């Protein structure tokens, strides 16, 4: 029974297994899934005769599908361009790159990545 539920879920929700896999652009696939999610939100809210239900299910779908899209985009970026997440230079933007001692600025070495634990 678990396998049937899993396979059914995959055949509908997995963009690499459902018929949307034929759309080459991942962003377009995601948009089509969003439109389908909105449609199902409307259908269920009409079934329960409540616009509150529509609001709740629409917001839930936005958050759920948006989170999935951000996760997939992050994973794809990590797979295709792993250096995207490594920035050159100072890694902590919230701290100053310079230190002052007795009114004079002390410049750190350009190769120093900063941080107290590095």
Inter-residue contact 41 to 61 (CB < 8 Å): yes
pLDDT value of residue 88: 61
What is the C-alpha to C-alpha distance for residues 40 and 17, in angstroms, rounded to an integer? 20
40-72 confidence digits (pLDDT tens):
878 877 777 777 777 887 788 888 888 888 888
Residue 14: pLDDT band with limits 50, 70, 90: confident
61: which residues sit within 8 A by CB, 6+ positions away? 34, 37, 38, 40, 41
pLDDT higher at 37 or 116? 37
68-109 confidence digits (pLDDT tens):
888 888 888 888 887 776 666 555 554 555 677 888 877 777
């Amino acid at each position: 029974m678990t396998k049937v539920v899993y396979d059914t879920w995959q055949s509908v929700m997995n963009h690499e297994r459902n018929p949307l896999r034929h759309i080459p652009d991942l962003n377009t696939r995601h948009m089509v899934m969003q439109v389908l999610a909105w449609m199902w939100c409307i259908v269920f809210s009409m079934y329960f005769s409540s616009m509150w239900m529509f609001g709740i299910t629409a917001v839930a779908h936005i958050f759920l599908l948006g989170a999935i899209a951000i996760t997939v985009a992050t994973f794809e970026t990590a797979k295709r361009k792993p250096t995207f997440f490594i920035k050159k230079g100072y890694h902590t933007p919230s701290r100053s790159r310079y230190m002052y001692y007795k009114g004079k600025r002390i410049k750190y070495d350009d190769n120093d990545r900063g941080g107290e634990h590095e």
